């Protein structure tokens, strides 16, 4: 494995992240505008309202935050390895922008309300990310290794630009209520995390995470260069397809369910890469645990800082990731 040696230190790092995630789960489970405690829920006289809030609202939200955070950070680590760039993230290929444009089309053109509107929004986000994936692969097909990656980057840039332009046009055409809905969804939120959404994430995201973990050895070999990796038996084009398809499945579902949550796919894997090294057999599962931990903590803060109101969780991750990204750029400039 490239980077840190395998063995006890690796297990110790993963065990520490697991324990921190469990602690964050306990904190988040009993924090919120309606304060709950284990003693209250397990006591002799818990009210039906307490159980309903915990089971119907809080538990699916915690599950969704864990899955979405793990997917965004895990796909960020995989994309950084694929492009051999520690500042890459899942938005490079335009997946989030495509999903966002599809959701905006659904909100403005169909104007559905109730469960149909919510589930239609989820489906639109996933289909938008899938359409972007097909377009990007079509444009990047057939070139040599580095040229194909460069083409994928250019295609992602073009899709991000077009999606932003059409999204602005839809915002101009939207009514006041639709514009508010678009704005809240674009800032990222887990407020609609009921059991149907959580079960949908549970069905789609774990297979994508498992698929990315299966690519760990190939991503390690790819860091040596495509010619060297090919000599070691790596099929680089097949690896790229697997990584991008797994990222499309997972990120498309995440954006459809939770909106745009920025910087998570960049911040978590980059920090863990500096701490644990570039070996993806450790970095991928550590990033998934770290992403779940960070989003759980951010969502708990979003629910409690302005209680009973709620801050969009995407704003908190951007407030954390933006300054860190600027600090990284200044550090790179000083080292040049």
CATH code of residue 293? 1.10.3470.10
Q: Which helix (H) or strand (E) holds 198?
A: helix 195-214
Kindly state whether residue 37 falls inside one of the protein's structural domains: no
Name the residue among 86, 66, 90 with its Cα closest to residue 76.
Answer: 90
Q: Residue holding tokens 């909106």?
A: 259
CA 57 to chain CA centroid, Å, is 21
pLDDT in tens, the chain (336 residues): 444 444 446 778 899 999 999 999 988 888 776 666 555 555 555 567 767 777 888 899 999 999 999 999 999 999 999 888 777 787 777 888 888 888 888 888 875 565 566 677 777 877 888 888 888 777 766 555 566 667 777 888 888 888 889 988 888 888 888 888 788 878 888 887 888 889 889 998 999 999 999 999 999 998 888 778 878 888 888 898 899 889 888 888 898 888 889 889 888 998 899 888 889 999 999 999 999 999 999 999 998 887 778 889 988 888 887 787 777 777 766 766
- Residue 85, classed as helix, strand or coil, is coil
DSSP track, 96-155: HHHHHHHHHHIIIII---HHHHHHHHHHHHHHHHHHHHHHHHHHHTTS-HHHHHHHHHHH
Assigned domain for 159 exists: yes
Domain annotation covers residue 282:
yes
> Which CA distances in Å does 204 have to 65, 180, 209, 331?
14, 29, 9, 38
pLDDT of the residue at 142: 55
Write the burial class of residue 250 (CB in 10 Å: 0-12 exposed, 13-18 middle, 19+ buried): buried
pLDDT at 30: 80
Residue 147: its pLDDT value, please? 66
In a domain, 64, yes or no: yes
Structure tokens that stand for 255 in this block: 């954006």
* 18 located within any domain: no
Q: What is the structure's pLDDT at 208?
A: 94
pTM comes to: 0.88
pLDDT for position 184 = 80
* Cβ–Cβ under 8 Å, residues 213 and 285: yes
Number of domains in the chain: 1
Residue numbers of the domain that contains 269: 60-335
* Encoded tokens for 161: 């630009």
pLDDT in the model for residue 209: 96
* 152 within domain boundaries: yes
Q: Is residue 169 part of a domain?
A: yes
Output phi, psi for 263, to 5 deg: 70, -10
324 to each of 69, 96, 290, 328, how far by Cα in Å?
A: 18, 21, 16, 6
> Looking at the domain assignment, is residue 298 inside a domain?
yes
Q: Are 325 and 266 in contact (CB under 8 A)?
A: yes
Q: At which residue do the structure tokens 């629910």 appear?
A: 303
Tokens of 88: 């890459």
């Amino acid at each position: 494995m490239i980077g840190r040696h395998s063995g006890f230190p690796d297990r110790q790092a993963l065990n520490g992240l697991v324990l921190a995630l469990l602690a964050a789960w306990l904190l988040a489970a009993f924090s919120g505008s309606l304060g709950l405690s284990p003693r209250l829920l397990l006591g002799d006289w818990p009210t039906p309202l307490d159980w309903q809030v915990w089971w119907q609202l809080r538990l699916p939200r915690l599950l969704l935050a864990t899955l979405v955070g793990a997917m965004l950070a895990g796909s960020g680590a995989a994309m950084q390895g694929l492009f051999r760039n520690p500042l890459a993230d899942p938005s490079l290929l335009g997946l989030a922008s495509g999903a966002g444009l599809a959701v905006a089309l659904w909100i403005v053109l169909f104007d559905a309300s109730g469960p149909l509107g919510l589930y239609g929004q989820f489906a639109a986000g996933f289909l938008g990310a899938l359409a972007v994936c097909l377009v990007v692969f079509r444009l990047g097909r057939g070139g040599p290794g580095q040229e194909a990656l460069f083409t994928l980057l250019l295609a992602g840039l073009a899709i991000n630009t077009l999606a932003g332009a059409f999204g602005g046009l839809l915002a101009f055409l939207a009514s006041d209520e639709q514009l508010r809905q678009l704005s809240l969804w674009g800032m990222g939120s887990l407020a609609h995390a009921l059991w149907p959404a959580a079960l949908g994430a549970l069905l789609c995201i774990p297979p994508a995470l498992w698929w990315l973990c299966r690519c760990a050895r190939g991503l390690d070999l790819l860091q040596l260069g495509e010619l060297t990796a090919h000599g070691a038996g790596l099929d680089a084009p097949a690896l790229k397809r697997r990584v991008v398809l797994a990222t499309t499945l997972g990120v498309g579902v995440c954006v459809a369910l939770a909106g745009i949550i920025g910087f998570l796919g960049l911040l978590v894997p980059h920090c863990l890469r500096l701490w644990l090294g570039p070996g993806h057999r450790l970095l991928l599962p550590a990033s998934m645990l770290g992403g779940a931990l960070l989003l759980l903590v951010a969502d708990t803060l979003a629910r409690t800082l302005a209680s009973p109101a709620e801050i969009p969780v995407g704003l908190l991750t951007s407030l954390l990731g933006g300054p860190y990204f600027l600090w990284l750029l200044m550090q790179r400039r000083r080292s040049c």
